Structure 1
């Protein structure tokens, strides 16, 4: 899979679970996906009882950093990541993956390990890999404690952006950021992810066009490294539903034409903005405009310009940009079906419908 994707220009990042082994749903014993039997705290050929932490109770006091990092998350057997054998085993696992050609890792539940333990594990990883760590910020643990290791997931950004778009108030998003503890170059940002989609979501694919507007805004705005969700339909209120599966329980092949697969990444308002993000990389925000409510527009220097409308009325007007004069394709419309002429004074005229997005950039011309 890694090789096939590399040939298509797609890098693979592995969601690396380093903090824990089995727990909820298999707290006693079971059989792993490769057929090996196990009991909690006993995993033949890998870990035994002494390789797990002394605190074998589930986390109760989330205001205590020591408990959050050393006790069990959802009854999952918590590895003693301060031990050299455990660290070496985890580093070896990651190096097996880099040998396969993976480009980097999302470190799952990094918050539940001391930063020095995560740093020790990652220090032995070979190759030039990109690392971003899951740290849900709270009063006890700050994401800034992990930035010396790699980027950190910015949950505050998701709440701020999704909340503003959901409320139809884009006027305050010019200086959009996330956690006060992170800089943009340290943050991995998203509208939703596989956890927030199921628990206390602000926006998900179920919100239709509003979700697309939020995702497009994220890709247009320079803050952070954006992560686009692509998922499957989990039904109304069925938050524990797994992906479409075959009769033997294995996940079915992804078919984006099948309604069971949502495939948000193919929505044109999102897909077209990926190219916008690349074309405008390194450029700050220019030519900001808003109407004080749900309509806003901004440029990315002389590289791109985007318009967003979250109001009930269409947005019709003339927009001032820093783009060179010329004809540009609206990348949110698909291909080059809709074009706009930017004049010598940097202006163009357009009408953007309710819940609509328009985006032009210098690498998308007829």
Structure 2
């Protein structure tokens, strides 16, 4: 891998686990005692003082990955590396491939700005770092409260061979960043959000990763906006009747509530499964399991009435001869993947290749 140390910033190190930070310190012959913040500053100070340092590949693999979210866009044609480098460099007053240029916080606005760039392994990856103002915090100063801007950085990875743009960081800002990138490149190419894998079932993504579907946040496909008081009362009465039956073994109250519900709903509504009527009154339904969610009878029963919009998948990946377990969150509405624990470039590539490139 090319040396990407020169585009690493403090927030990148903060996204790594303490164990990874400790390993980096050991590799650099630094004291690895202290809390996570201590390790971050030791490593950053070392990088600042040794700008030509080339870290081991296993360290580089985490620096621009870590705990992040990813969203992908597809280019309609391939762009050559030299063209990208020239376009990016010519658009700026500095060479982002040679230095980091972070403007003063006052001059950083909501529009993303390039602060650095670098080349990845086998020249297939081009990294571009953006910074933008992400909000205003209110900070007390004596008897006054002053607004203080805070910023966020995102990483764009351009995969030249696959004709893909990957945005790592806040996925809600991804489209704005991609728009700014296409403006910078000023090329006759079109960019389209990758949607297909996220428009199907989340279970399909779990199968592609050879993983298990362990958690789902769902909404029902059926929404009843005009339930009147009699409808709601009827549903509640049936649920109370079920509870009473299991408590007393007397079905009379349950039978009475069922007949009342049949009268409260017209034939068309009551032909819908009763579970759908119950679920339609819920904003969302959450089901979770330590293992495969699809093996739960309750999930199998409710699945026809549910449309999962967020799901968690656990999968294994072998790296450096060691099999590790990783968990991702799939967002159907955001069309993104959120890595819940720090991961390496190889893990992100594995997920990308399985669900985006395939």
| TM-score relative to the length of structure 2 | 0.25
> Which structure has the larger Rg?
2
Q: Which has the higher helix share?
A: 2
For CA contacts below 8 A with separation 6 or more, give which structure has more relative contact order. Answer: 2
Q: Which has the higher strand share?
A: 2
